[in-house]
Structure 1
Amino acid sequence: MKKISNVFYITIGLIILTVGYGAFAPESFEAVTTNVRNFVASSFGWYYMLLMSFMLALSFFFIVSPYGKIRLGKDTDRPQFSTVTWVAMLFSAGMGIGLVFYGAAEPLSHFAISPASEDPNTDAAFKEALRQSFFHWGIHIWAMYGVIALSLAFFQFRKGEPGLISATLKPIFGEKMVGPWGTLVDVLAVFATAFGVATSLGFGAVQINAGLNYLFGVEINIFSQFVIIAIVTVLFVASAWSGLSKGIKYLSNTNLVLALALLGFIVVLGPTLLIFNMFTDSFGGYFSNLVQMSFGTAPLDSTDRKWLDDWTIFYWAWWISWAPFVSMFIARVSKGRTIREFMIGVLAAPTLLVTFWFSAFGTTAIDIQKKGLVDLTQSSTELTIFEMFNVMPMSFMISVFAILLIVSFFVTSADSATFVLGMQSTNGSLTPPNNVKLIWGVIQSTIALILLSVNGLTALQNTIIIAALPFSFVMLLMVVALLKALKAELKLMKLK
């Protein structure tokens, strides 16, 4: 079971080719991937909007349907992790560094360059900025992760299949998924996971470097980022080595505590009343406008359409490219829960945390901008949050706290991915061998370092967004296979 599969060797070959192209011809790599990404966004934007909306509707269906009582495992199985630890794991793997990286910067950007034809820098733009941030990080993403994770967990724990994407397609294609076609599906999943996490590592290193430069004058260069990635690599490999129930569990709980503490600092030291009022108003506006936002493609307005391609369609493709990793990790830690309990937890808890996070950080940043205390729109994305802290009480302490949280998220995302990559390249083993996890940890860090050194992270980001298109068709097949298997399972349960 733990034997390294062909998926491992094929994906390594593809990684070498892709990274080699990016390292030796970075300008060409970026130009080609940008053109393809733009074509995908403009031509398939409608498809991504429908797909994500379908996943949301399907997740609600699973909650209210008779399938909700089916347990992800044997009828006697119970959850391996407490609800708090489980939510912490979802939160850490699903969002991670991105919340700190974009928590203040994205709402501020929407405020300054407002979507939906709103005038920028107005009260209407303020509300719209938070609603759009909720939309890009909220319930749609968790519905998509939840449905794909549900498919993986059902086949893995209820039907005894290996923990592979390809195994979920057997109700449609049968044993063909054990051969070359199954390998192709799993290679696509591993490729997207490896590059998605490498991109996150690169952005995390840049933000940690920016924070250390802002606080302590550490020079911003590839050497500093090399040292940061090297230190974090040692930490996340050590965590992955210790296993799911030790390192990853404790780090996820630590993440949640640190994140809630930093959030508490912002709420207390920032415009507290305004944060709660904006959260309440924008949360209501988010759900009351959810249908229109979910299907809006701006077909007759080229300006709004460009904004949609650059933000919403980009995010939908980005989250789909992360689905193999995040969904497989969520599935792995969700054994023993019923489908109803699983879907409610995956939808509700992270969505509430994320929306309040953006309310706190976004409201504070926009309030500072409106008061003219500092022009945060001139800051780079990685520095925005530190510039915001600088005009708040206890700024140094909060900044140090934020760096610790970024490092913690950094380590947790990477060790979760290392664990999942180990599973996917050892025929779905629930306990992948440590040497495989070590190899994947080094590979992810090496990808990030090489492409940081040639400013190739944008091209890498483009690459996995392009890979999201074929994987989205795999997702639809997974849904068909899952519905077919659940229908048969319900009949079987009635006969018992």
Structure 2
Amino acid sequence: MNSPNDASAHPEPVDDMQTDYVVGQDNIEGNLGPIGFDIHNRVFMISAAASIIFILLTLMFPETAGSMFQSIVSFSTGTLDWYFMIVVDFFILFSIALILLPHGSIRLGGPDARPEYGYLSWFAMLFAAGIGIGLLFFGVLEPVYHANVSLPLGITSPFADGALNADAVPEATAMGLAGTYLHWGIHGWAVYVVMALALALFSYNKGMPFSIRSAFFPILGERVWGWWGHIIDILAVFSTLFGLATSLGLGAQQANAGMNFVFGLEVSVTAQIIIILLVTAVALVSVWRGLDGGVKRLSELNMLMAVCFFFFVLFAGPTLAALTGFWDGMVTYATEFVALSAPFGREDDAYRQAWTIFYWAWWVSWAPFVGMFIARVSRGRTVREFVLAVLIVPTLFIAIWMGVFGSTGLEQLYASPDTSLVKQYVIDNYSPELSLFGMLNELPLTGLMSTLGIILALIFFVTSSDSGSLVIDTITAGGKIDAPRPQRMFWATVEGLIAIVLLIGGGLSALQAGVTATAIPFSVLMLLMCYTIMKALNSELRLLRAR
């Protein structure tokens, strides 16, 4: 390993955006730890220590922690709802500007760079990124929830219009799906555009480490390799940890509910903790086997099973109604897009705070995780091509999935509202983790497909943990992507433990609190990233015109 003061260990500056990376013992390259961890000491040690302290305090004082988590949720979604709406709307406008400006012709990796993956492979990887357990947990829940006027907790859906009756099916389905597409569509992927583009530009075009802090060099200069940079990377670690913990917690709840539905296993926090421990153990094996032998094979298996699952629901359910619902939902989403994006002048504060603001915070918290993945597979693409693909391709894939699952659930609800399990789990007795299984109950092979749904949830759980530990490891190792396996295993363990303590400390409200608490400061960093992205693109445009 090169000495921290060896200038040959760092890339030479290419233009005025770069500098020599020699920063003494604080070098971004990090050091070999006493137990074999190849770490950037301060980022790793502070992140690890703070995570362990958080876990211990939550376990020691669960009631106090639960009350604190609820206060965080109330403040973040109630007081700062306007802020999150404006921030995410700005990311959409910024993405559109990148498509229209001359900067869109700049290639990630330089003028001579060419894509490493063909369009089909690239699109498939974009689809796999940033989705995870959400397809299963929310695919039936959201369209049914949004389409109905009378909802749990006294919330009124802005998408619903009228009472439950068969004549209202097409309009209710379209509006329910429009609400779902709002939360899973272009808004969220615009968040990922900012993060992924910043990482790709400063790593591939400017030769800087593959680390969040690199994007802030235009603002901080060489100070980015010191404490300012440490703070940025630590915030990214916690944002990723709590975003992943939320997904793992939701996955455990759904797997537990599915096991109760199929096998009669009791639904309880204890059962969910056992599920998290078992799945984390499998994730550790996957981490130990490495990227090709572990997460790659699991991802391929998961994708195959997900495709089979999707086509079963499409053809075993009301096929025409599902496809029609998907299309009508997309049309409504497009026509209502501006109105749905408005941060002010709306009368649905309770709904927006309970759903939309939580989603915007969740997307922000996942940005380091998904942004790194997208950046790593997008070298060689032009900025315009990159932005268009990231905004549109995953949105369409998700819309098709949600459209089929949501339309099927709504058709069942309206066909027999008195006996529908979907109505029972979503409207009458709010049990969101059971909504998928309620829909499957009305289709053939209920037991088999419900079991497949449980397995899919668990594999999504494992791949998210494995991929997330790789991203956190990259951040805490100063941008390295080949740090020792024990280091990744450590972070996979911490992710599982945080998910457990959040469930103990308050369930869903605690999961929401973890996301929103970290999303507030990190969203500020992402706004600053928009400025540094334009600085880097202007620099690249000058170089391109000088050729």
1:306-345 equivalence runs, <5 A: 306-345=350-389
2:503 corresponds to: 452
SS at match of 1:160: coil
Shift of 1:74: 3.9
- 1:88–1:253: 8 Å Cα contact kept in structure 2? no
2:240 corresponds to: 193
- 1:97–1:200: 8 Å Cα contact kept in structure 2? yes
Is the aligned partner of 1:27 residue 2:73? Answer: no
TM-score of the two chains, using structure 2 as the length reference: 0.85
Larger Rg: 2
Greater CA deviation, 284-293 or 451-460? 451-460
1:464 corresponds to: 515
Greater CA deviation, 380-389 or 34-43? 34-43
Of 98, 115, 118, the residue aligned with 2:158 is: 115
Of 473, 476, 482, the residue aligned with 1:431 is: 482
Of 57, 68, 83, the residue aligned with 1:47 is: 83
For structure 1, the 5+ residue unaligned runs are: none
1:23-102 equivalence runs, <5 A: 23-102=59-138
1:204-283 equivalence runs, <5 A: 204-222=251-269, 224-244=271-291, 247-283=294-330
- 2:147–2:160: 8 Å Cα contact kept in structure 1? no
Amino acid in the other structure paired with 1:475: M
| Inter-partner Cα distance in structure 2 for 1:259 and 1:272 | 18
Of 29, 39, 54, the residue aligned with 1:4 is: 39
- 2:115–2:378: 8 Å Cα contact kept in structure 1? yes
Of 396, 415, 422, the residue aligned with 1:376 is: 422
Of 325, 328, 332, the residue aligned with 1:285 is: 332
2:392 corresponds to: 348
Number of residues of Structure 1 aligned to a counterpart in Structure 2: 493
| Inter-partner Cα distance in structure 2 for 1:298 and 1:305 | 10
> Cα–Cα, structure 1 residues 81 and 407, in superposed 2: closer, same or farther, change >3 Å?
farther
2:19 corresponds to: none
| Inter-partner Cα distance in structure 2 for 1:289 and 1:463 | 31
Is the aligned partner of 1:105 residue 2:141? Answer: yes
SS at match of 1:437: helix
Of 187, 202, 214, the residue aligned with 1:140 is: 187
Is the aligned partner of 1:412 residue 2:459? Answer: no
1:483 corresponds to: 534
Of 213, 216, 219, the residue aligned with 1:166 is: 213
| Inter-partner Cα distance in structure 2 for 1:235 and 1:78 | 37
> Cα–Cα, structure 1 residues 187 and 463, in superposed 2: closer, same or farther, change >3 Å?
same
- 2:86–2:343: 8 Å Cα contact kept in structure 1? no
TM-score of the two chains, using structure 1 as the length reference: 0.93
Amino acid in the other structure paired with 1:348: I
> Cα–Cα, structure 1 residues 243 and 298, in superposed 2: closer, same or farther, change >3 Å?
farther
Shift of 1:130: 0.9
| Inter-partner Cα distance in structure 2 for 1:126 and 1:357 | 14
Shift of 1:407: 2.1
| Inter-partner Cα distance in structure 2 for 1:451 and 1:36 | 13
Is the aligned partner of 1:495 residue 2:546? Answer: yes
- 2:69–2:506: 8 Å Cα contact kept in structure 1? no
Amino acid in the other structure paired with 2:267: I
Shift of 1:131: 0.5
Encode CA deviations 1:458-479: one digit per residue, 9 max, x unaligned: 3142122122111111001111
Shift of 1:230: 3.4
SS at match of 1:119: coil
Task: Name whichever structure is richer in helix by fraction.
Answer: 1
SS at match of 1:337: coil
- 1:229–1:445: 8 Å Cα contact kept in structure 2? yes
> Cα–Cα, structure 1 residues 306 and 223, in superposed 2: closer, same or farther, change >3 Å?
closer
Amino acid in the other structure paired with 1:21: L
- 1:389–1:399: 8 Å Cα contact kept in structure 2? yes
- 2:66–2:505: 8 Å Cα contact kept in structure 1? no
> Cα–Cα, structure 1 residues 241 and 70, in superposed 2: closer, same or farther, change >3 Å?
farther
Greater CA deviation, 17-26 or 411-420? 17-26
1:361 corresponds to: 405
Amino acid in the other structure paired with 1:343: V
| Inter-partner Cα distance in structure 1 for 2:292 and 2:109 | 18
Q: Percent identity?
A: 40
- 1:202–1:448: 8 Å Cα contact kept in structure 2? yes
Encode CA deviations 1:98-129: one digit per residue, 9 max, x unaligned: 11011101111112333257335344443221
> Cα–Cα, structure 1 residues 463 and 453, in superposed 2: closer, same or farther, change >3 Å?
closer
- 1:418–1:437: 8 Å Cα contact kept in structure 2? yes
